[in-house]
Structure 1
């Protein structure tokens, strides 16, 4: 029997749209603290706020976008977000004080939140249900590539160019995002009167998809652990004198995700989520242990490989699970719920873990994250994995 086609024109356009959107984000995030300190002579705390206030704007946008996306229209919301993102990117060229930078960063975060929620909802709806794990895995590679290319390109441009050149690159990325969005064909969902009535008023169910919350909590904890990498890997590598190896850490991390993602996505679709999620937690834990004990470059890079596999699986399969358990007309809410939790995990992590570093050191924090990962595996079993096993058993018995 022939497989339902995955690599359609709209799937490719949607994936490239997300890639360019993420490139804009990662190009800026890696240089924003340095830009604020060098250009406006701001304090480290002010510079940190200039970077993190973007995430606050994105969280605010996601909170409301999930509720309104089906009423406004998925493509209209995507176009609105990408236009606003382009406008905010152009404002970076004329900034002359730190307060204005805070405002632009917040509004840029709002634009990003609108566009990211819309494109995520559009693409997950395009993917055939029978190939959802595989499709979302490939789609999420757009984020993986942007995570690897964006920071590398940003640091390269700063080393040999200027902040202004970064803004030029971001503008090109924003234009490409908008152009791709215009060419995307989006079948809109028509809500029934009952569904429209259900989404009126300020109630919990209009801001969060309850069925997506269990897996979102699990993924938020894993991303809390992941935040220790993006926040403290550089000072940790300096402390243990492995900066040369550390410069290749995220390249190894990204390559492993690129290699393993097609296999893990197909396993998700054919065998169910548990067969890949449980090993992912174990492998992520091993990566954290390797990282905590790294004394040679090869150990540090091995940690990057293990962590890339573990997080790559949890990232793509977690979103696939959130979509899988959600009714079609609430996919927008499901996507916004998932990424709100993930963003909170990444945002809270550096602050909380930073409080422990004076007492445990970097090695202690990474070993602690290995323990948290084990606890997270048990939590996954309680919130989703156990129920998924039971449902799979019932389906197999019925088929037999």
Structure 2
């Protein structure tokens, strides 16, 4: 008999994550424009008004795992969401650009803690035999927010009415807190058998590093660092690429198709991963994502971006939850929080620094050359995956 996946707490965890990510995408889409119009900020400062959130999240990921283990997953989740609600409301009276930037940093830090806590709790709720399937279902809430958040931000901010965006964000934050109040998350379990029989790191620096970084998560997390870097080229430059090619509406079409492909992959591929093993899904996912990125180099016509969106969406939508499931299965329960924090820290580094690195390539190779380069990078990532995990991944027989 298959272990039960759809419990009350698992559904509540999905709902909490959905509302958290709705706030993320609502404000990431509109914050730069708000800074420009409300405070007449320079382009660089307006850009930081958006990206400061990511900086705050990146910093909090360093300490999230340690805090979850010391304080508890549910306590950290509720405390972080209280800050999340408060900051969402404080955007409205914020009267200076400096205060806005501080709020964005704090908001990002609260997001990093809350997201790590609810993701760690959700992973603890998923039966190990259905790890990838459950991870895919949980990650679908992020995909829905990816589609709805930017759309609602544009709708609410019509006519520069940004207060509507802030009030709606505050409502979503309050909804996340309300759902989390009813959520009961399992805390870490110290009884992990042989996996816990490991020596204590020697030296203060080694102990501090072990408290914030899970070494067993780093090899596979390096895959999502590269994937995040490659995908940041789409997030940051596709709109400009489409406009420069005379097809400005193609970018919106790509993201719509991409979100649909991601959702389909996350609802369907998890069971295959659980039954057939890591390599059966990871190798095709990496290859399909690489092809999807390279297809963008062929142009930005509706047909081209539709094909690219399907391929890259299915590839990216598969490799992220499946790689997360691999990381979770590689660590003992007491290190789950630190492993999840390490995983998303690497992902944030890739998506955060990717636009800077790829932005240096665009003047030299153009947008088409940049997308060819990201496709080649993901082909190389297949070799990286083989080196760090694929050659030793459990076989189908070993997983049965």
Distance in 1 of aligned mates of 2:38 and 2:300: 37
Q: How big is the shift at 1:282?
A: 1.1
Which of 363, 370, 390 aligns to 1:365? It is: 370
Which of 278, 282, 287 aligns to 1:282? It is: 287
- Once the two structures are superposed, residues 52-88 of structure 1 have per-residue CA deviations (whole angstroms, 9 ceiling, x without a partner) of 1111111111111111212201100100111010011
Which of 391, 395, 399 aligns to 1:392? It is: 395
Please give the secondary structure, in 1, of the residue aligned with 2:226.
helix
- Once the two structures are superposed, residues 7-43 of structure 1 have per-residue CA deviations (whole angstroms, 9 ceiling, x without a partner) of 1111110001001001011100011111111111110
Considering only aligned residues, what root-mean-square deviation do their CA atoms show, in Å? 1.9
1:325 and 2:322 aligned: no
The equivalent of 2:221 in structure 1 is 216
Q: How does 1:265-344 map to 2 (within 5 A)?
A: 265-344=270-349
The equivalent of 1:264 in structure 2 is 269
Count of residues in Structure 1 that have an aligned counterpart in Structure 2: 393
Q: Is the 8 A contact 1:70 1:191 kept in 2?
A: no
1:132 and 2:131 aligned: yes
Q: How big is the shift at 1:393?
A: 7.1
Q: How does 1:1-400 map to 2 (within 5 A)?
A: 2-159=1-158, 162-189=161-188, 191=190, 202-388=207-393, 391-392=394-395, 395=398
Q: Is the 8 A contact 2:276 2:396 kept in 1?
A: no
Distance in 2 of aligned mates of 1:188 and 1:116: 16
Please give the secondary structure, in 2, of the residue aligned with 1:31.
helix
TM-score by length of 1: 0.94
Distance in 1 of aligned mates of 2:260 and 2:159: 26
Q: Is the 8 A contact 1:246 1:301 kept in 2?
A: no
Q: Is the 8 A contact 1:121 1:335 kept in 2?
A: yes
Distance in 2 of aligned mates of 1:283 and 1:231: 21
TM-score by length of 2: 0.94
Distance in 1 of aligned mates of 2:65 and 2:154: 34
Shift in CA distance, 393/234, structure 1 to aligned 2, threshold 3 Å: closer
Distance in 1 of aligned mates of 2:396 and 2:137: 28
Q: How big is the shift at 1:198?
A: 5.0
Distance in 1 of aligned mates of 2:300 and 2:354: 25
Distance in 1 of aligned mates of 2:98 and 2:300: 43
Q: How big is the shift at 1:245?
A: 2.7
